[in-house]
Amino acid sequence: MILDRFKLTDQVAVVTGAGRGIGAATAVALAEAGTDVVIASRTEAQLDEVASRVAAAGRRAHVVAVDLSSPEAAAALASTAVAEFGRLDLVVNNVGGTYPRPLLETTAEFLEEAFRFNVATAHALTAAAAPSLVASGGSVVNISSVMGRLSGRGFAAYGTAKAALAHYTRLAAADLAPRVRVNAISVGSVATSALEIVVGNPELKAKMEAATPLGKIGEAEDIAATVVFLASRAGGYLTGKILEVDGGLQSPNLELGLPDLS
């Protein structure tokens, strides 16, 4: 049966940034596909709620409340997964993000921080997990962004970091082939807390939807379903690829209104 290729029965995953939004939806989707999960983010109460949803799907969740802006903290999740569940099959590098900022207000330190939070943490966890993933024939899924390939004012730090994460995906895939697959998702506008200001503003939301070819804002489950595909045998012939799950965007659908320099 073709649907059997989407199953992840008795596998183990680490999902970062799993307290809400895409990370939470991914953890639950993986559980529904048969996976036990290590879920990590700053807020333990949010993780506990996600863990209850994982349990309702019949799988186990191990909660790690930690500041994942530290690459060392991210790397430690690999050994945590093996200690708790005895193996590791999948890493989902979801944690990341950087506030928009005009170019001339983007300091070198701000750019370095964006790179560390979006790229260095993903690398640290991927490298720490690699021996276990080689043993299990596992995979890595990185969560990048449409702003890593599109140009919009105010996104110099965020877009640069996400573009770096996308190319890191290609390079890591080459280094870890053939035992470990590494892919990424280029995420468009998705209804999470990061877009709360948009979702709660009908006029602004309508403008973004009108600027999106599919005419709507995405859902966290759209990304979670893509993670399941990439992690499963259904996506087993993909590595080093960036899947664009963005409603068809060819240009930004949100303008920050930053003025020309004078």
Which of helix, strand or coil describes residue 4? Answer: helix
b (16+ CB within 10 A) / e for 65-95: ebebeebebbbbbbebbbebbebbbbbbbbb
Q: What separation in angstroms does the CA of 121 have from each of 69, 133, 136, 168, 255?
A: 7, 17, 22, 12, 29
pLDDT for residue 154? 95
pLDDT for residue 200? 77
C-alpha 93/C-alpha 78 separation (Å) is: 12
| End-to-end CA gap in the chain | 63
C-alpha 42/C-alpha 67 separation (Å) is: 5
C-alpha 123/C-alpha 149 separation (Å) is: 20
The residue with tokens 């709507």 is 216
Say whether the peptide bond before residue 178 is cis (omega within 30 degrees of 0). Answer: yes
Other Cβ atoms within 10 Å of 234 Cβ, number: 16
Other Cβ atoms within 10 Å of 262 Cβ, number: 3
C-alpha 256/C-alpha 86 separation (Å) is: 47
Q: Please, which pLDDT band fits residue 3 given cuts at 50, 70 and 90?
A: very high
Question: Which among 117, 93, 78 has a CA at the least distance from the CA of 182?
Answer: 93
Q: Please, which pLDDT band fits residue 126 given cuts at 50, 70 and 90?
A: very high
Is the per-residue pLDDT at 43 higher than 80? yes
C-alpha 120/C-alpha 114 separation (Å) is: 9
| Residue in 99, 158, 168, 237 annotated catalytic | 158
pLDDT for residue 191? 84
What is the bridge-based pairing of β-strands 181-187 and 242-245? parallel
Query: Any idea which of 10-24, 118-132, 246-260 has the lowest mean pLDDT?
Result: 246-260
Instruction: Convert the pLDDT of each residue in 74-114 to its tens digit.
Output: 999 999 999 999 999 999 999 999 999 999 999 999 999 99
Instruction: Convert the pLDDT of each residue in 170-229 to its tens digit.
Output: 999 999 999 999 999 999 999 887 777 777 788 888 999 999 999 999 999 999 999 999
Question: Which among 53, 3, 9, 65 has a CA at the least distance from the CA of 28?
Answer: 53
Domains and CATH numbers, the chain: 2-191+223-242 (3.40.50.720)
158 is annotated as an active-site residue: yes
pLDDT for residue 104? 96
Write the DSSP symbol of residue 258: P
pLDDT for residue 61? 98
pLDDT for residue 196? 75
